[in-house]
Chains A and B, each alone.
Chain A
Amino acid sequence: MSMTDQPPLTPSFADYMDGETARVQRVQLEIIEHADRSVLRITLPDGGVPIDWPLADLRLIPDQADKKAAVLGQAGDNPARVVVSDTDLAARLTAVCPNLKRRHKDPNVLKRLAVLSAGAVASVALIIFVLVPVMADQLALMLPARGEKALGDTTFEQIRQALTENTEYGLPLCDAPDGLVALNKMLDRLNPGTDFPYEINLHVLDHEMVNAFALPGGHIVLFRGLLKDATSPEEVAGVLGHEMGHVDHRDPTRLALRSAGSVGVLGLLLGDFAGGAAVLFLTERLIQAQYSRGAEADSDTYAHALLGQVGLPTAPMGDFFLRLGGDNTDEDTSLLSHLASHPDLKGRAQAAVDADQVGEVYTPVLSVTEWRDLQNICDS
């Protein structure tokens, strides 16, 4: 260690805390400058061995409220502190200490943060996309019919509320008497003693969307837009058969339970507990009803078999799918429609045509008058 290059400064005093006891000691501070290793010398009042802090290791504790005092520590974990109230000394220290404001940088921190972030995202995704769905699928099969019906009733009301600004009554149900007669006739034809655990509850909602969906507990909802868009009652019958397939496979119950789980998680991430956003999200999921490709294909197959059983052609169903696909430029119908949610509409249409066992000769599901009544079910 070489000798000092310049005369030492007049000593100043400061408060020193050793980080081992709660003692506050009045200490004498000197800056001792060596060529290779300048230090802040802390001389304790009890006359013990002075403590030397290398100037390069000195750190200023940031964001201090008292701008007149400087709180100094050492790099690393040493809890010892020097509180300098002497402004001259503080200024002198600022001038000679090179690293006063350097932050403690842990070289591994970014890596750890990256690993942790990836892990967190992966875990949350795993919970939402794997764990919750798998559990929901199991629970959906165990849910008693009455519970399923109640779940459907509640969500049906929520959907009616969500689709309209009229929050008092929700979106109106279409119930022109002649139209209802026609609707029930169609349902009776398709429902020849099928043993569902609950009755099929068929509704028409007064909305222009070309869509239909099923809810837990046997609710099936057709939109006015779909009835208007269809060119024959057999097309509607095909859609109805498809939705009955979803009911039979309990797809909506699964979806509702899955959503209940993931909505909670979403609420957590968005800071919205049991709030409105969660309910809106839930209803939107159910209307869109984006089931897996397999679930859609199964429902189509179910519809094909059902229609064949009651002597109705499946080709019109195919035509309808094709027209939905052609309509894809129309945002209102394509983006929100459960029926058009799968890109492979052409394939599904072809499958419907291939499955047709009836051909051109059959007893129409509705007469011409009844079909007109059904299309006008919302005019009352």
Chain B
Amino acid sequence: MEIQTLQTDYAGRRWALFWLALKSSILTVLTLGFYRFWMKTRLRRFYWSAIRPGGVPLEYTGTGVEKLMGFLIAVVFMAFYIGIFNLLLMYVSFSLLNDNFAAYAMSFIGIIPIYFYAQYRARRYILARTRWRGLRFGIDPAAWAYAWRALLHWLGTILTLGILYPRQIFWLEKFRIDRTWFGRERFVQEGGWTTLLPAATHLYIGIGLSILAGVIGWFNPVGFALLGLSVPWLVIGLVHFKVQSFRILTANKRLGGAIRFHAAPRTGRVFGIYLLGNFIASMILWLGLMALVVGIVVFLAMFSQLDVFSEDFDALLDSGDAIVQFGLIGVLALLYFSVFVFWGVLNQVFVTMPLLRHYAETTSIANSHQLVLISQRPRDEFSEAEGFAEALDIGAAI
């Protein structure tokens, strides 16, 4: 049987994304946040269509309206859950323990299963609205089963100070992937959690050094100086693990009988994109802000009789003049929101997009000739969309 491999190419242009992100961010601010459902939709359409395995773009078919509706449904459920739950917690906490700390702790812990639940539901929605070569993706409904598994795995990871993190990553990925479909063909996650261990070496060294620093620091505060080494090691180790575990997990995925995947993302590249992207974004933001401030000062100096540097100007600012006060508040609010909007937009352009591009371009599909045998799956209506994730503010970027 002849082996055929599909490379993935990436088609997005920075400027196109910049304008799309900017336009929709401004609309989101102007509509007090309501446009964000459409903003997410449009950005996803862009990103999906940029990723082209074998030259055929992915397509995102979600809509803003269904996201807004899903959000409304989720808010009602959450209001019920949180209202009643907090009330009962407060009651139990005070009647049994005579304290409210337990209530606060529990009301936080009580949200965590919902968080995982929402994560899975959001994934289901996104997969149900993703198509490639005309076929829909999908994932079986199993959000609660996922939520309690995720809870236990996280507990294990925390109790073992991160040692079991690779195990958690593997089993949760396996849980999701084994339920994921492309058309009528199912994905399978093969391999075992120990296959991720080589990728975790530096993570473990970072954890070990940090514990050592804590132990030494307990006896002699000088020991805390070791944190200066161990924390960067931990952070880089974590990024390395994220990138390389993706590579290993991808290599062990199978679609149907024979379709396999290959990924080769590089830790250095990912780290570089984070550093450089954030640096460029913050430089542009700073320069823009400075230009804006200088512009305002020059404008005031040239087109009004006010001498900006005189005491009259200070006096005017201090005066109770309502118009001046409102003007100032308006300018400040505008600045504040502009900074947030621009930061989000620049992050999309200089971090999210290059990352996606790197992952896309280093991923390929082997034995792709088998794809033609796969047929369509029915539409998953799923009226609450990713409302729970929206209500909980999960999944920031896209």
Contacts and interface: CB of A to CB of B under 8 A. Distances in A.
A and B found bound together: yes
Given A127-B83, A268-B82, A83 B57 contact: yes
Nearest to A272: B393
Interface in B29-65: 42, 45-47, 49-50, 52, 54-57, 59, 65
A23 B374 CA distance: 8
Nearest to A216: B94
Interface string A101-144: 00000100100110011011001100110011001100100111
A263 B104 CA distance: 12
Contact of A71 (B42, B49, B50): B49
A41 interface: no
A135 B56 contact: no
Interface in A289-322: none
Interface string A243-273: 0000000000000111011111101110101
Nearest to B110: A264
Contacts of B78: 268
Interface residues of A, number: 65
Given A151-B90, A265-B82, 12 more contacts: A17-B56, A21-B183, A23-B372, A66-B11, A69-B57, A79-B135, A79-B376, A123-B76, A132-B87, A139-B88, A263-B86, A268-B82
Interface string B105-130: 00110010000000000000000000
B16 A67 contact: yes
Interface of A: 15, 17-24, 61-67, 69, 71, 77, 79-81, 83, 106, 109, 112-113, 116-117, 119-120, 123-124, 127-128, 131-132, 135-136, 139, 142-144, 146-151, 154, 256-258, 260-265, 267-269, 271, 273-274
Contacts of B65: 106, 109, 113
A250 B56 CA distance: 68
Contacts of A268: 75, 78-79, 82, 391
Given A123-B76, A261-B83, A265-B79, A273 B20 contact: no
B285 interface: no
Interface string B12-23: 110011001000
B227 interface: no
A103 to B, nearest CB: 10
Contacts of B17: 65
Contacts of B11: 65-66, 69
B69 A112 contact: yes
Nearest to A79: B134
Given A21-B135, A24-B133, A79-B131, A128 B79 contact: yes
Contacts of B376: 19-21, 79
Nearest to B368: A22
A127 B80 contact: yes
